[in-house]
Amino acid sequence: MNRKLAVTFSLLVILGFGLAGQALAQTTSGVPGVKLGDYFVYSITTHWSTTNDSLTIPTELLMYNSTLYYNVTVETVQDSNVTVMNNWAFTNGTVLTAPSLSNVDSGVLFEYIQGYPAFQGFFDANLAVNDLLYPSGNGTLTITQTITRDYPSGKRGTNIVTSGSPITDVNNNTGTETTTLYIDKTTGVLVERNDLIQFPDYTASITWTLTGTNLWTVSAAPLLVPLIIAIVVVIVAVVAVVVFYRKQKKGGKKTRHK
């Protein structure tokens, strides 16, 4: 019998956290690190493995894995509120486009269109280790560590947030769900998210990765320059060989005198 994932990967709230608990006191600016016109492009990949031949890949994973790109463009920033336009494009040509408004300080999603994606990958800028992810929200997730990540444009500080909890599927089997967020420290923007769901007979994961933004160079086209160089080298080599053989052929001919 096909088994659904215990956690539904919703089209509505793409990166939302169902946070619960008492918020701790924290001094924070509550100011987003993004501005009008900033854009962020993500790739989405999935993984599925099982030891049970009767199980099939969940439709949610197939949907995510057919993502061509997910583009988020900032339209307005007012205090801690950020309005964005979401564009989720799929390989079959379908594009889901809709605006959404969220508060980076509390994590609350205020405005969205039912059934359409609503990005919640923006957080307060310049959070430090042990700071709450949502300082004014009802949650207890904190920044667990800050690391340095290398980009083509240079090194950037990155905050990490991890969370894990037991879950059950529709057949009441017990598993675990683990989420890890990598957040650019200066801007408070999500650069990577890994969701891992593990049950005794299957494992599923979804990974969001930032592939482009106007704020810094995330990913150059690493194969483009080497490819161009390789093509030039091949062309030069071919031309050199042709010229060499032509000279050899010309030099091998003898002129006869009568």
Q: What pLDDT score was predicted for residue 51? A: 93
Contacts 24+ apart (CB under 8 A), 86-89: 86/14, 86/116, 86/117, 86/118, 86/119, 88/117
Whole-number pLDDT of residue 248:
59
Q: Which two tokens stand for residue 227?
A: 């490819």
Residues 146-180 as b/e (b if ≥16 CB within 10 A, e otherwise) read: eeeeebeeeebebbebebeeebebeeeeebebebb
Q: What's residue 219's pLDDT?
A: 78
Question: What pTM was computed for the model?
Answer: 0.77
pLDDT (0 to 100) of residue 19: 35
Task: Write down the pLDDT at residue 1.
Answer: 34
Segments in the chain below pLDDT 50: 1-27, 221-234, 236-238, 254-256, 258
